[in-house]
Amino acid sequence: MKKMTTKILSLLLIFAFSRVDAQVLSGAAFLRSLPGSRLQAMASSSTAGLDGIHSFYANPGTIGFMREYQWSAGYTKWIADVYNASLVYGQRVRMPWSKDTRITLGLLYQGVEDFDSSDGATPMASANDVVVNAGLGQPLTFISPWLSLGIQGKYFRSTLDQFEASAFMFDTGLFYRTPN
């Protein structure tokens, strides 16, 4: 009975503190939809993913524990003719300070084909978002064999018809995996 009560309380806490977005509350919402079928199936809950190629989008610290080399390409067409594509590559490289350094390169694209929501009163319009990123990860074996540090830089560009915005971004993450 005590186990059942604990499970029910855990589920209630999860639902109480979960957030459902009825609308987008900020710009660049494209950055919230992470690439890869595994991440999408897990509702983007990959902050603790160990060696998946897409996990560094959630936590750059995972780069340090990636496999020897990985790559992924994906394409998804959603409703209303929205589509996205991704190309991601990562590998171990030998650096002067370590033979276990890893790098990642990624390209994410989301677009909307030309559309007309004015019944011909205005010209057709289109929209797209692009993110190009590069990351570097390093296991911190001098502290612990289970700790990794990762950094990545990103360039983001968003276009809506004749309007365009862009920004450079920087992420850093620390990742600790258990010995098990």
Does an H or E element contain 7, and which?
helix 2-17
Residue 13: the pLDDT is 58
What pLDDT is recorded for position 94? 86
- Determine the pLDDT at residue 67: 82
Output the pLDDT for position 95: 85
* Predicted local confidence at residue 22, as pLDDT: 46
Task: Report the chain (180 residues): mean pLDDT per 10 consecutive residues.
Answer: 66 56 55 67 61 78 86 83 88 86 91 78 84 93 89 92 88 85
